[in-house]
């Protein structure tokens, strides 16, 4: 009985997929790196929002002349 279990385990090991990352997978970033990327993106969006708000104010000013 034990031999059958051993043989089955060896067969399973032989055909088991090897653990390797997906070819296109990004390496796992640390929490600090993810937070830094997120903060950078937020800063870019805030700058863009400020530009757009400024344009809107300029258009309103031209309309109210």
Structure confidence by residue, pLDDT tens digits, 35-57:
999 999 999 999 999 999 999 99
The parent domain of residue 62 ranges over: 28-65
> What tokens appear for 44 in the block?
């870019």
Distance CA 49, CA 38 (A): 16
How sure is the predictor about 65, in pLDDT bands with cuts at 50, 70 and 90? low
Residue 20 lies in a domain: no
Residue 62 lies in a domain: yes
Residue 53 lies in a domain: yes
Q: How many domains does the chain have?
A: 1
H or E stretch at 49: helix 31-63
User: What pLDDT is stored for residue 24 in this prediction?
Assistant: 78
């Amino acid at each position: 009985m034990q031999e059958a279990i051993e043989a089955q385990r060896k067969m399973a090991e032989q055909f088991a997929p090897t653990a390797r990352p997906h070819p296109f997978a990004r390496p796992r970033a640390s929490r600090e790196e993810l937070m830094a990327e997120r903060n950078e993106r937020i800063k870019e969006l805030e700058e863009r929002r400020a530009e757009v708000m400024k344009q809107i104010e300029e258009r309103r000013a031209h309309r109210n002349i």
